[in-house]
Amino acid sequence: MFDQLVYLDNAAATRLDERVLEAMKPYFFDTYWVATSQFGYSLGIDAKDALDAARTVIADALGAAPEEFIFTSGSTESSNAALKGVALALREKKGKHLITSRIEDFSVLHSARALERQGFRVTYLGVDEYGRIDLDELRAAITPATILVSIQSANQEIGTTQDLSAIGAICREREVLFHTDATHWFPRVPLDVRETPVDLITVTAHLIHGPKGIGGLYVRQGTPLSKWMDGGFQEFNLRGGVENIPGAVGFAKAVELVTPEETDRLRSMRDDLIRRLLQIPESRLNGHPTCRLPHNANVSFRFVEGESILLHMDMRGFAVSTGSACFSRSLEASHVILGIGGDHERAHGSVRFTFGRFNEKADVKAVAEAISDVIVRLRAISPLGKE
């Protein structure tokens, strides 16, 4: 369709790395058996070995023991398992109160709402203009009935990162479990459970050039967690269902391929892009200037609408995303932009650019020039900003 597609929506999905596919292939054709117990047939034991090895790689990357990590179908399932699993385990023993933030991804927000319908109480913490929660507000929200605090590591749209160590310390002191959705963080930003007091971590493969349909949940040893989805005894009896072994192997390979050098490269492209975009008049950065994911840029342009920007960019061969209501599946403006105190207008003209492994330095200049051109065009036909 285009001579060249410049893909800058790596927070939505990433292109699979060939090396990941190569690692996965044998588990479709050669070692395709289910992982049987150690007393099963030898073929199944090969499958189990592969699963265990993959588990060890990812657990290592988190500083965890292998038996503290379970595979799931992705972030949405992991966060459902964390919130609903803790709720089921502690509703009788401790209480029915959870704390989260207003700018979480829908897997957490909608799980929380589902629990509210089951009689749980949920506190949704507000965030400051950059998207960070207030630690004092968190402290004040914890009650003796609080069973779980779920605060994302980094935001899906504006890339703002939270102070996980500080949040974890508060939860530890008040003896409340802490879950973090690290979908957009892991493993680009280091997270080690031996240093950071966190009990449950949601992770996924599809944003680091791994396959879709595989993710995982770190569960600290001893964390009370009930099964929310019924099935067999797989994954330490925490997640039933035939194991996705090719997926697990691919996830592990994808984790191994992420390096600090690569992350630095993404950060430098991202910084260059932000610098160029902010030269466009009436533009502003959404999210924190420094406490932010290395591969995320999110900028609002006044007087223009995101879906129109996106379509014009698409025609020029660029894939980006927007928080505009017109683009959302529910016709609602981004709850994240509104959450950081932005109005509909700011959400309307917000554009998210997320970098990945296959972006090149030249993409930055190209996308900045294209955006600049599109904004000029759309502003020319806008009734706003002319007085």
Query: Residue 67 phi/psi, 5° resolution?
Result: -75, 0
Is there binding between residue 124 and another protein (CB under 8 A)? no
Q: Which CB atom, from 95 or from 306, has the smaller least distance to another protein? A: 306
* Least distance between another protein and beta carbon 381 (Å): 5
Report how many residues bind another protein under the rule CB under 8 A.
27
> Which strands make up the sheet holding 283-285, listed edge to edge?
283-285, 296-301, 350-354, 321-322
Q: Is 291 a catalytic residue?
A: no
User: Of residues 326, 362, 376, 384, which has the active-site annotation?
Assistant: 326
Alpha carbons 371 and 57: distance in angstroms, whole number: 40
Of the residues 25, 113, 275, 365, which one makes contact with another protein according to CB under 8 A: 113
Q: Which residues are CB-neighbours of 367 under 8 A, at least 6 positions away?
A: 6, 8, 273, 313, 318, 320, 353
Q: Which CB atom, from 242 or from 384, has the smaller least distance to another protein? A: 384
Is there binding between residue 383 and another protein (CB under 8 A)? yes
Alpha carbons 179 and 218: distance in angstroms, whole number: 9
Q: Which CB atom, from 128 or from 345, has the smaller least distance to another protein? A: 345
Alpha carbons 345 and 179: distance in angstroms, whole number: 33
In the shown chain, the binding pattern of residues 326 to 345 toward another protein, with x for contact by CB under 8 A and - for none, equals xx-xxxxx---------xxx
* Least distance between another protein and beta carbon 136 (Å): 30
* Stretch near another protein under the rule CB under 8 A, chosen from 138-146, 148-156, 282-290, 376-384: 376-384
Residues 218 to 237 in contact with another protein, rule: CB under 8 A: none
Print burial letters for 15-36: b (CB count within 10 Å at least 16), e (below 16). Answer: ebbeebeebbeebeeebebebe
Of the residues 13, 278, 315, 362, which one makes contact with another protein according to CB under 8 A: 315
Crossing angle for the helix pair 75-90 and 106-117, nearest 10 degrees?
30
The answer to whether residues 115 and 98 touch, using CB atoms and an 8 Å cutoff, is yes
* Least distance between another protein and beta carbon 340 (Å): 17
Q: Which CB atom, from 268 or from 382, has the smaller least distance to another protein? A: 382
Among 144, 157, 97, 145, smallest CA distance to 125 is for 97
Q: Which CB atom, from 124 or from 303, has the smaller least distance to another protein? A: 303
Is there binding between residue 71 and another protein (CB under 8 A)? no
285 SS3 class: strand
Q: Do you find a cis peptide bond into 187, omega within 30 degrees of 0? A: yes
* Least distance between another protein and beta carbon 264 (Å): 37
For 178, counting Cβ atoms within 10 Å of its Cβ (0-12 exposed, 13-18 middle, 19+ buried), the class is: buried
* Stretch near another protein under the rule CB under 8 A, chosen from 56-64, 65-73, 237-245, 318-326: 318-326
Q: Which CB atom, from 119 or from 381, has the smaller least distance to another protein? A: 381
The answer to whether residues 258 and 188 touch, using CB atoms and an 8 Å cutoff, is yes
Separation of first and last alpha carbons in the chain = 40
Q: Which CB atom, from 153 or from 322, has the smaller least distance to another protein? A: 322
* Stretch near another protein under the rule CB under 8 A, chosen from 3-11, 33-41, 292-300, 308-316: 308-316
* Least distance between another protein and beta carbon 308 (Å): 6
Residues that bind another protein (CB under 8 A): 113, 303-305, 307-308, 311, 315, 324-327, 329-333, 343-345, 348, 380-384, 386
Residues marked active site are found at 326
